[in-house]
Amino acid sequence: MLIAWTALALANDPFAVEASVHTLDNGLTVVLSEDHNTDNIALHLHYDVGARDEKPGEYGCAHLFEHLMFEGSANVPTNAFDEWLTAAGGWNNAFTSEDETAYHETFPSGALDLALMMESDRMGFLEAGLDLENLQNQQKVVLQERAEGYAEPRGRNWDALALVGWPKGHPYQHTVIGTVADIEGYTIDGVVDFWKRHYRPRGAVLALVGNFETAAALERVEHWFSDVPDPGPPEERAKAVPIGPEVRGDHYITDRVEDRTVYLVWPTVEGGHADEPALSLLASILSGGRGTRLDDALQYDHSVASGVGAFQSGSEVGGQFVIVAIADDMALPKLKAKVDKQLAKFGKLPPTSAELDRAKKSVRAGWLYEIEGLENRAEVLVDCQRLHGDPNCRAARYAEVEAVTSDDVMRVFREYLVPEKLVTLSVVPEGDTGMIAGAVEVEIR
């Protein structure tokens, strides 16, 4: 076991979380952070596997494991993960993104051994629980999950954006949950193979935050994960595909809505890129509530739109800048023209120091909020460790935000938000013709 690094909270650093990082012999990275303000412990275990790692025929498989990981492993029978943790007073959940799958639980401190036993069992010995009956049942549940999401208005928008916002062959160009055909097509051999390729200690980070003593907790982690085999380094992960002129133009879907929505999407940079802070601040300056550019111009001062938003989304191998505007009656070409007009105006009126300061403070407040609770803090520690090799990455990352100038914001605005890279998605009611002119329908299966 290697103690790689220890961070001690600095008195003047509001983002600092006292945490230690350890690497077990099998390669698992462990982050431990004591908090004795409660009696509970939050556990986050993130695997370096997401939709991005799926090959054709496997689409949706990372998300499927979010379900299968609760169906039993060699020494934890079907449903026992939930039954045992619930019996101890705890709860658990999981989520999947393009880049990672996260398993997390919170439990009274007296259940630490139980949680570690079950997590280590499914990390090392899940194969015993991967049987056809469990697979078929969870296929049905995932189909229901997909149907429930799609049943709500705007429930398909993000999946449509994934399809049009990335080039064919890009690891983000399919949906996290998969198509109906994808979900129905899984085989037991396929999912076993997927598990063997991706679920291994060297591709995971475990964080514990809560009421424990670090040395004692580390001893229990080492104990329970000591027999989890190390099959070596994880499979090389899919890399970004260059985004060329094929990802351009205008697209639409119809939905059970009575209003119209337009998304404007520009390819930008992955998370952690030097331009990400300026792009994030640009989004906040454009749309961060009353007193920000697009919100005032389109929504609060003039009722052009019923909703407006802007954000920079930086995933691990790519990013997008997105502006969304919603209107009841206005055709989307006209609504887009209103957005374009404000963007042109922004190009001539750089952000003021007050606008920039507000945007930075907003980032700061959000990040501080994220480390207040046990669960969120564990997630932040894991993500910082996974992406930056330092569970206390937030201080350094905020320093990058603080360093952004008005010129930086204007530079990224001019570099990335250019018409020749723009993709639009119109969402309109069935039979409506108010989409962007010439838009091509997106087929979501």
Partner 1 sequence: MMWLILPAFAEDVPMAPPSGTPMGDEAAFEGPDRSHPPDVLAPVPLELDDLERHELGTGIDALYVRVPRLRKTTIELTWWQGRVDLADHAVAAHSVLGSTWDLATEAYDGAKLSELQDVLDLDLWAYLGDHRTGVGITVPLDDLDAGLDVLEEVVKHPTFPNREIKLNKEETRRFFEILGPASPARVAGSAQAYSWNAADHPYGYRPDPAAHAKVKRKDVVAVHQQILASGPASLIVVGDLAWEEIEPKLKARFGSLGKAGERSEVLDAPTPTADRVIAVAMPDAEQLTLRLRIPAPSRLDPQFAGMEAASYALGGHFLARLNKNLREEKGWTYGVGAWYAAGEKRGSFNVSVDIPGEHFAAAVTEIEKEIGEVAANGVTDEEIDAWWRAEVMEFNQIRGTIDDAEGFYDTLADQEESVADVRKRIDAADAMTIERAREVAAAVLGEDAPRVWVVVGPKDAIDKGLAELSWEAEWVTPRDAILGRLKGGP
Q: For residues 206 and 243, which CB has a smaller minimum distance to partner 1 in the complex?
A: 206
Cα distances (Å, whole numbers) of residue 216 to 106, 312, 323, 442: 18, 41, 49, 54
The minimum distance between CB 157 and partner 1, in angstroms, equals: 14
Q: Please state, as a whole number, how many other Cβ atoms lie within 10 Å of the Cβ of residue 105.
A: 25
The minimum distance between CB 167 and partner 1, in angstroms, equals: 30
The minimum distance between CB 402 and partner 1, in angstroms, equals: 14
Paired with 245 in beta bridges are: none
Contact by Cβ (8 Å): 331, 434: yes
The minimum distance between CB 240 and partner 1, in angstroms, equals: 32
Q: For residues 109 and 406, which CB has a smaller minimum distance to partner 1 in the complex?
A: 109
Positive or negative, the CA dihedral 100, 103, 104, 108 is: negative
Crossing angle between the packed helical segments 332-348 and 406-416, to the nearest 10 degrees: 140
Return the DSSP state at 53. G
What's the rounded Cα separation, in Å, for the pair 183 and 59?
8
Longest CA–CA span in the chain (Å) reads: 65
Q: For residues 301 and 441, which CB has a smaller minimum distance to partner 1 in the complex?
A: 301
Q: For residues 239 and 352, which CB has a smaller minimum distance to partner 1 in the complex?
A: 352
Q: What stretches of 73-156 show up as alpha helix (H) in DSSP?
A: 80-87, 112-125, 132-151
Contact by Cβ (8 Å): 65, 194: yes
Q: For residues 205 and 359, which CB has a smaller minimum distance to partner 1 in the complex?
A: 359
Q: For residues 187 and 274, which CB has a smaller minimum distance to partner 1 in the complex?
A: 187
Q: For residues 296 and 415, which CB has a smaller minimum distance to partner 1 in the complex?
A: 296
**Consecutive H or E run containing 407:** helix 406-416
Full DSSP string of 286-313: HSSSTTSHHIIIIIISSTT-SEEEEEEE
The minimum distance between CB 249 and partner 1, in angstroms, equals: 28
The minimum distance between CB 133 and partner 1, in angstroms, equals: 10
Residue 317 CB-density burial (10 A; 0-12 exposed, 13-18 middle, 19+ buried): middle
Contact by Cβ (8 Å): 325, 262: yes
Q: For residues 4 and 87, which CB has a smaller minimum distance to partner 1 in the complex?
A: 87
The minimum distance between CB 247 and partner 1, in angstroms, equals: 29
The minimum distance between CB 60 and partner 1, in angstroms, equals: 14
Q: For residues 10 and 151, which CB has a smaller minimum distance to partner 1 in the complex?
A: 151
What's the rounded Cα separation, in Å, for the pair 372 and 366?
10
What's the rounded Cα separation, in Å, for the pair 403 and 392?
18
The minimum distance between CB 147 and partner 1, in angstroms, equals: 5
